[in-house]
Structures are given as C-alpha cells and as structure tokens.
Amino acid sequence: MITPEEAAAIVRQHVRVLPAERLPLVELAGRVLAERVEGTEDLPPFSASTMDGYAVRSADSGDRRLVGDRFAGRMDELTVGPGTAAYITTGAPIPDGADAVVKVELTSESDGVVRIEEEPPAGHNIRAPGYDLRKGELVADVGTILNPASIGLLASAGRVDALVGRRPRVSVLSTGDELVEPGRTPGPGQIRDSNRYALLAALAGLNVDVRFAGLAPDEEDAQRAFLTERIADSDVLISSGGVSMGRKDLMKRLLPELATVHFQQVSMRPGKPVTFATVEGGPLIFALPGNPVSSLIGFELFVRPALLSLQGAGWPERHRVRVRLTHATKPTPRTDYVRAVVTRDREALVATATGEQGSSRLASLAAANALLVLPPEGAPYKTGSIVDALLL
C-alpha cells in the first residue's frame, strides 16, 4: 500500500494546469495568479507624511511660524523656509524645504505660531518614494493565491485586471441505497446523505464551478450513466461511497472500466479506500470513501490541493506545526490523522484529540482545528510527546 505522500505525488503528476482567464479586480479574491506582476512606478511616487502634524526643517529649533497647509491629494506651491512650518495631513506630499514631520500630539498652535514639544530628527515621520512598492519590484508572482492584501497591491500598482487560472468545473456525487435527502425522515435502515453537503462546503472558497451535485443508488447502470455524463463536462469528479470491499461497492468496479485507476488504497487512517483515477484529456476522479470523516480527510489531503494546483498554485499544503500531546496515544499500522484541538499553553502549542475517532463520527472533525499526523508503527506516545499537526 502506498503512503499518503506517495498518493499526493501521484495526484500531482496528473494535474494539468487549466487555461488562464483575465478577470477584473473585483473578481480576483482567492484566485491563482497566472502572470508575474511588477511595480511600474515608485509608490508612493513622492515623499509623504506618515502623520497628521507639521512639516518642519530639522535643523531649526524652537517655535515655527506657520506658512500654510498641505493636505493629502494636494500639491499647491508651498515652501518651508528657515524657522517656519506647514500643517500637513497623513499621506500628503512633504513641501519643499521641510525634512521632518512632528505629529500634532506633540505640538500646539496659536496665532500662526507652532510650538513644538520634541524636535524631530531629519526624515522623521516621512515615507520615502518607493517605500510601499518600488518600480520593478515584484507585486505578485505566478502561482500566488490572491488574498485581500495582494489584490490591494495590484490596485495600487494600477492594475484593473489580472490573468488567473480558470475555475475547475466540479461534479459531486453521493452513492448508496441507504441515503436520503437531509430533509427527509430516514426509513428503516436508511441514513441522511451528509457527504454531499460536507463536500460542497469544503469546496466553497476554492473557486470551483460546481456543475452538478447528486445522489445515485447502488445500481450499476445509474452510476455508470452518471460517471459517463460527468466525465464529459468536469475537470474534477468527486464521489463518496462504494470504494470499499462490499458487494455493492460499485465505484470500485466501474472506475477501471471508464478510467485509468492510479491507486485504490492508501496507508492512512481514516480513509484507506480513497481512490484516484483519470481519463485522458478528461477529469481527475476522486472516489472518496463513504464514511463521512474518511471522505473529508481524503478531500483535505488530495482534493483540496489538487483543485488549487489545477488553477496553477503548485501543491499548497496546510501549515504544519509541532505540538505537544496532552494525553497518551498509540500509533497504528497506517499514518493516523487524529482530529484534534490545538491551543496555546504559554510558549508551546498543545493538542488534544476530539474524543472517539471512528471514521463515521463527524463530530470528531467538526470540533477539530487540526489533524495530528502520527506516522505508522513506532513506540507509544506519552503525554507531552511532540508530534506534527496540520492546521485546518
């Protein structure tokens, strides 16, 4: 059986970055940049005040005679000569002659005279041209996931749009005769379909275009029809259920017929039956296990990075930190992803597992903010042992 790292590498090998599209600033949140953007001029383009106060000459001392105002956005003729000062607001250009700004809190003004409590050194409270961004400096590189600050940078650099990876078209399918819609009261032996809604929620924020989300019974023709239809118009197909060892685990049987299967088992817990297949020129297919925690952990480890990777973001992983266990636990024969709460205890991060870790028990994941990564085998962990955690 392959390790989770090997499985991720196999998925990554099959990612073909989607074509880029040009979008306006207001549509760029979370998108992946497909071009390199550099500053085309120094920002700010002039020396600017970082405070509301008075622009002065640092070589002077004592009271200054007020010679005028300089407001942000204005550049009227104004010179600060020896012994004088100009009122200035944050972001306004420093007038000729001045080389420092005294913040208003350290001054008092009456009858055109400014009293200064603390003489400033040269350059005080002045932002030099290019301080925020220099001409030619990198604004954002190819593969950057655009966050609010990087979109702000694009705007300040004068961009009105940017080239970003196209949104993957995604289809989601739940499989199982036992499943009913959440609004229904399950009959004997039935349960509500939770995976479809959990997976749709996991997709939110990843810039995907969900084309289809449905539920198929454990019936070979129904599942084949779904797969055939969705292979034709999806970049990513995500199913849950039907990949373990049961007689009604039809996904496991159908996928080799319709696609090339790359792995059907990964040495991990939960989520061992996670299956990955591709179709030449078609979608990446993730057939996730049916158990609700298994399907979400499979999504987290393989689908989430693949969706960002398709948009050109490399293979973005969650932040990995070292945490101290607040309890003892044992390793298992597979890599164990333990749902846990990580908090800070003085100088250290500490982790506590979220109770029963069965793969059907969604509450163990709902309460977690991290997954502990416990490698297979090895000695038992004592309270206080240091382990890796992926921050969700």
Residues in touch with ligand AMP (CB under 6 A): 174, 176, 178-179, 191, 193-196, 240-244, 246, 249, 289-292
Distance (Å, whole) CA 111 – CA 289: 79
| Residue nearest ligand AMP, Cβ-based | 290
243 versus 284: smaller Cβ distance to ligand AMP: 243
271 versus 289: smaller Cβ distance to ligand AMP: 289
Distance (Å, whole) CA 366 – CA 340: 10
User: Among all chains, which residue has been given the structure tokens 């709902």?
Assistant: 366
283 versus 289: smaller Cβ distance to ligand AMP: 289
Identify the three-state secondary structure at position 307: helix
Q: How many CB atoms lie within 10 A of CB 66?
A: 17
Contact call for residues 316 and 358 (beta carbons, < 8 A): no
49 versus 174: smaller Cβ distance to ligand AMP: 174
Q: C-beta of 340: minimal distance to Mg ion in Å?
A: 28
Nearest one of 271, 270, 305 to 288, comparing CA atoms: 271
Nearest one of 109, 110, 92 to 101, comparing CA atoms: 92
Q: C-beta of 178: minimal distance to ligand AMP in Å?
A: 5
Distance (Å, whole) CA 371 – CA 351: 9
Residue 95 phi, psi dihedral angles, 5° rounding: -70, 155
223 versus 329: smaller Cβ distance to ligand AMP: 223
Q: C-beta of 228: minimal distance to ligand AMP in Å?
A: 20
143 versus 273: smaller Cβ distance to Mg ion: 273
Residue 193 interacts, among Mg ion, ligand AMP, none and using kind-specific CB cut-offs from 5 to 8 Å, with ligand AMP
Residue 39 interacts, among Mg ion, ligand AMP, none and using kind-specific CB cut-offs from 5 to 8 Å, with none
Identify the three-state secondary structure at position 51: coil
Q: C-beta of 190: minimal distance to Mg ion in Å?
A: 12
95 versus 176: smaller Cβ distance to Mg ion: 176
Asked if 176 interacts with Mg ion (CB under 5 A), we say: yes
Q: C-beta of 363: minimal distance to Mg ion in Å?
A: 21
Residue 95 interacts, among Mg ion, ligand AMP, none and using kind-specific CB cut-offs from 5 to 8 Å, with none
Residue 4 interacts, among Mg ion, ligand AMP, none and using kind-specific CB cut-offs from 5 to 8 Å, with none
Q: Give the max Cα distance, the chain.
A: 93
Contact call for residues 183 and 33 (beta carbons, < 8 A): no
Asked if 241 interacts with Mg ion (CB under 5 A), we say: yes
Q: Which residues are within 8 A (CB) of 365 and not within 5 positions of it... i.e. 6 or more apart?
A: 292, 293, 296, 297, 339, 354
Q: C-beta of 366: minimal distance to ligand AMP in Å?
A: 14
Identify the three-state secondary structure at position 211: strand
Token output for 125? 């409270």
Residues that bind Mg ion (CB under 5 A): 176, 241-242, 290
